[in-house]
Amino acid sequence: MARILGIDYGRKRCGVAVTDPLKIIASALGTVPTRTLLSYISDYIAREEVELIVIGEPSQLNGQPSESMRYIKPFVEQLRQKLPQMPVVMYDERFTSTIAHRAMIDGGMKKSDRKDKSRVDSIAATII
pLDDT score at 66: 79
CATH of the domain at 58: 3.30.420.140
Global confidence as pTM: 0.80
pLDDT score at 62: 78
Q: How far is CA 44 from CA 33, 65, 72, in A?
A: 15, 29, 20
pLDDT score at 119: 73
Task: Classify each residue of 92-125 as buried b or exposed e, where b means 16 or more C-beta atoms within 10 Å of its C-beta.
Answer: ebeebbeebbeebeeeeeeeeeeeeebbbbbbbb
* Structural domain span for residue 58: 3-127
- The tally of domains found in the chain comes to 1
Give pLDDT tens digits along the chain (128 positions).
Answer: 799 999 999 899 999 999 999 999 999 998 999 999 999 999 999 999 999 999 988 877 777 777 888 899 999 999 999 999 999 999 887 667 777 767 767 777 777 766 667 777 777 777 77
pLDDT score at 115: 65
